Amino acid sequence: MALVSARWPTLILIGFLILNIQSVAAIKPLVPALLVFGDSTCDPGNNNYIQTALKSDFPPYGRDLADHQATGRFCNGRLGIDFIAEGLGLKKTIPPYLDPHLSPHDLVTGVSFASAGTGYDNMTASILNVIPLWKEIEYFKEYQFRLKQMFGEKIASIVINKALYLVSVGTNDFIENYLQFPNRRLRFSPSEYVDFIVGIAGNFFEELYRLGARRISVASLSPMGCLPMLRSMNLFEPGQCMEDYNDIGLQYNAKLQTTIENLRHKLPGLLILFSDSYQLTYEAIYNPSKYGFEEAERACCGSGTIELGYLCNELIPSCSDASTFVFWDSVHPTERFYEIVANNMLQSIRRLPL
């Protein structure tokens, strides 16, 4: 990839940015870039480029994208981050940082460092050999270096300081790690593990701040006990939500919100927002018709109980119209539900003094 020389005059660089942004967005962007950290809810394909069993770069994933190609998104179409990027006036899709074909425009308007299967807890990432959150930070440092090489210190500083940082992670720490393996359960009670994860989260936000982030939106946990996969694991009430896991999610959200409030007062100039979509998701699951859905217990791909990644493939029957389903596979929402959640988040994000 040819690099744009940092010796270009500043006015030429600014003109380059404006022309590239305006070619994608019809409205003036609210921020220069969207930079994303997290798990499969915001991984547009980074796992395609690492040695892991957790991938979705094959049909029927991506079947409802414009080109019907599986990109590595765990969805039938676009993710919430794509709708947020579009709503901010940046571009229709956020590319994965590890894509070797990233253009200068891709970099300067935003990328995702997220990796499906990861969590705040390093042990979570190790289960399926995905990118741990500390490595996402290392990629972000590398990103900053590349940005400075391409556009110079001044433009890079504007992008880094004015960008919106979106963080969506945490579910895997509970349903992939704490629920499935004894290591953490032997050491922590559910409440203690919540405190452990929230503590790591707070440190992560402070690290982003030290690296230049000033506008951060943090996604809440959803009612994870109502995921089709967890419904199928409910031995006491088969097919019903596991409310104890929903309670853990509520406890986590409350403590995370307190941590975010404390950081807002502690770190000068930090605009950090807790984007809570728990209630919206809960309503969509228990009253799907309110949002135009027909099915919220099963997923579109197969039965929705265990179909995830390689278990959701072209040999497994899937629904004809994913827009009538809340869930695409046993864990991940459909494109349509991602759009609803993204629009809800955008309402909160636009209240930030961007």
What's the pLDDT tens digit per position in 175-232?
999 988 999 999 999 999 999 999 999 999 999 999 999 999 999 999 999 999 999 8
Q: Does residue 12 lie in a domain region?
A: no
Mean local confidence (pLDDT), 154-173: 97
Model confidence at 149: pLDDT above 70:
yes
Give me the chain's average pLDDT, please: 91
Q: Where are the beta strands (DSSP E) in the chain?
A: 34-38, 164-168, 215-219, 271-275, 295-299, 325-327
- The CA–CA distances, whole Å, from 138 to 47, 142, 242 equal 16, 6, 36
Alpha carbon of 18 to those of 27, 80, 86, 109, 150: distances in Å?
12, 25, 16, 11, 15
Q: Mark whether 265 is an active-site residue.
A: no
Residue 18 in domain: no
- Distance between CA atoms of residues 178 and 9, nearest Å: 53
Q: How far, in Å, are 46, 81, 196, 269, 302 from residue 161 at the CA level?
A: 24, 19, 29, 10, 44
**Which residue would you say has higher pLDDT here, 13 or 223?**
223
Average pLDDT over residues 299-322: 83
Tokens standing for 157? 């500083």
pLDDT of residue 9: 38
pLDDT number for residue 179: 87
- Per-residue pLDDT for 60 more than 90? yes
**DSSP letters spanning 139-204:** HHHHHHHHHHHHHHHHHHHHHHHHSEEEEE--HHIIIIIITT-HHHHHH--HHHHHHHHHHHHHHH
> Who wins on pLDDT, 330 or 303?
330
Q: 72-114: per-residue pLDDT in tens?
A: 999 999 999 999 999 999 999 999 999 999 999 999 999 999 9
* Reported confidence tier of residue 353, pLDDT bands at 50, 70, 90: confident
**Of 40, 115, 220, 277, which residue is the catalytic one?**
40
Residue 352 β-bridge partners? none
Burial (CB count within 10 angstroms: exposed 0-12, middle 13-18, buried 19+), residue 185: middle
pLDDT tens readout for residues 252-268 = 999 999 999 999 999 99
What three-state secondary structure class fits 318? strand
Mean pLDDT of the region 235-249? 93
Which pLDDT band, with edges at 50, 70 and 90, does 311 fall under?
A: confident
Catalytic annotation on 318? no
What CATH number corresponds to the domain at position 328?
3.40.50.1110
In a domain? residue 5? no
pTM (2 decimals)?
0.91
pLDDT for residue 22 is more than 70 = no
Q: For the chain, what percent of residues have pLDDT higher than 90?
A: 84
Tell me the two tokens of residue 255: 């403590």
- Rounded to 10 deg, the angle between the 190-210 and 243-266 helix axes is 30
Residues 143-153, mean pLDDT to the nearest whole number: 97
CA distance 7 to 232: 59
What confidence score (pLDDT) does residue 313 get?
A: 87
Give the count of beta carbons closer than 10 Å to the beta carbon of residue 290: 9
Instruction: Measure the CA–CA gap between 58 and 9, rounded to whole angstroms.
Output: 44
pLDDT average, residue stretch 149-155: 96
| Count of Cβ atoms closer than 10 Å to residue 138 Cβ | 12
Residues in a beta bridge with 34: 164
Out of 39, 222, 329, 330, pick the active-site residue.
329
271: left (phi over 0), alpha (psi -120 to 50) or beta: beta
Could you confirm whether 332 is annotated as catalytic? yes
> Residue type at 129?
N
Q: Which of 106, 112, 217, 332 is catalytic?
A: 332
Q: Look at residue 21 in the predicted model and tell me its pLDDT.
A: 43
Q: What is the count of structural domains for the chain?
A: 1
What is the extent of the structural domain holding 102?
A: 24-349
The answer for residues whose C-beta is within 8 angstroms of residue 287's C-beta and 6 or more apart is none
Residue 227 lies in a domain: yes
Q: Is 354 within the bounds of a domain? A: no
**Cα 354 to Cα 351: distance, rounded to the nearest angstrom:** 8
Residue 136 lies in a domain: yes
pLDDT at 18 over 80: no
- What does the alpha-carbon distance between residue 259 and residue 348 come to, in Å, rounded to a whole number? 18
Q: Taking 60 as the threshold, does the pLDDT of residue 5 lie above it?
A: no
